A = this chain, B = another copy of it.
Amino acid sequence: MKEKRKKTNAIFIGSVKIGDGAPVTVQSMTSTDTRDVASTAAQINRMQEAGCEIVRVAVVDMKAADAVSEIQQRINIPLIADIHFDYRLALRVLERGADAIRINPGNIDREHLLAVIRTARDRDIPIRIGINSGSLEKDILARHGGPTSSALVESALRNAAFFEEQDFHLIKLSLKSSHVPTMIDAYRQISKRTEHPLHLGVTEAGGLLHSAIKSSIGLGVLLHEGIGDTIRVSVTGDPVQEIPVAYGILRALDIRKVGPDIISCPTCGRCEIDLPALAAKVEDRLDGMKNYMKIALMGCVVNGPGEAAEADIGIAGGRHSGVLFKKGKVIRKIQENEFVDVLMDEIHAMVMQSEKKED
């Protein structure tokens, strides 16, 4: 039912493998001023706590470039320096030991790019060629009549070829658009024409809820087809919010089983317990949990026992009371005021047991 992952080459960002069958990694980008080392490192550590595996920071000037190595000393995940316009910033961060750089070939000229590629090649540092519909080369835009999917693909292939001609192969590609069908089509096309690993993202996707919608469609369609090696969900706001959305997408498609999967019904005129309150409390209490577990919170008996049978643990509501299920077996009847505490105790015990098994 699930398509096989498309074969791509492997690259390493620090110690994190991308491509060639490695788990699809979750990335994000800081929103702090990179020159403010303390704030940036603090934000990255919050991102890592939430599950972020690779982080990117904007390098706007030499001061930001110099801050990169200081930030790296204070964090525990690989760092990618994001460079636009000024190739000298790229050279500086490569010399200072960034784990990777991201450049936008639409805004750095060829001659300067050569210097960047040679330096990265000498130091075995990967480069993401980040194509973006908002900053495509003028000749490509003119030929395609705008930032179409084919325009994104032409830009990506042209730039990848230029890097390869310099015998540089530690390439990762992204082809981002804020228009979901364009982004889907661009990645589908490029996936057939390259073995470079792909970084997926819908760009400028908006606030949390709207980004979750656009990113889930764009990334979801592609990941379900086996396309994509690393992902970023872009949210206007605190980037820490991006991480649970990214894992939510991967979890929904059985690509990575991280965090609790809460199955809860929308409630209807049949529901005689306060399910929205229960679901909100359970979600809140499980915030940050990394262990995978399927938890069913069902308002009534219509689908309750059926869904609960598929879940690791669940409650099916009755009249101000409910039945606790574990892996399809009824454990006992419980009262509504006990729901949260009983569930938390059981979940805690199950997590302890599974971790004990792994030891």
A sample of 4 more A-B contacts (CB under 8 A), given A1-B185, A204-B265, A239-B266, is: A57-B269, A84-B270, A210-B283, A234-B265
Give the residues in chain B near A31, CB-CB below 8 Å. Answer: 266-269, 271, 276
- Cβ contact within 8 Å between A264 and B236: yes
- Cβ contact within 8 Å between A269 and B217: no
A318 within 8 A of B: no
CB proximity of A299 to chain B, nearest CB, Å:
9
Give the residues in chain B near A134, CB-CB below 8 Å. Answer: 298, 302-307, 310
A217 and B223 alpha carbons, distance in the complex (Å)? 10
A33 (CB) vs chain B CBs: closest residue: B269
A82 and B279 alpha carbons, distance in the complex (Å)? 23
A203 within 8 A of B: yes
A40 and B221 alpha carbons, distance in the complex (Å)? 36
CB proximity of A145 to chain B, nearest CB, Å:
12
Q: When the two chains form the complex, which single residue of B216, B271, B276 contacts A216, counting CB atoms closer than 8 Å? A: B216
- Cβ contact within 8 Å between B136 and A306: yes
A41 and B42 alpha carbons, distance in the complex (Å)? 50
A252 within 8 A of B: yes
A209 within 8 A of B: yes
Stretch at the interface among A160-168, A176-184, A192-200, A331-339: A176-184
A297 within 8 A of B: yes
Most buried by B among A235, A263, A266, A268: A266
Q: When the two chains form the complex, which single residue of B213, B279, B302 contacts A104, counting CB atoms closer than 8 Å? A: B302
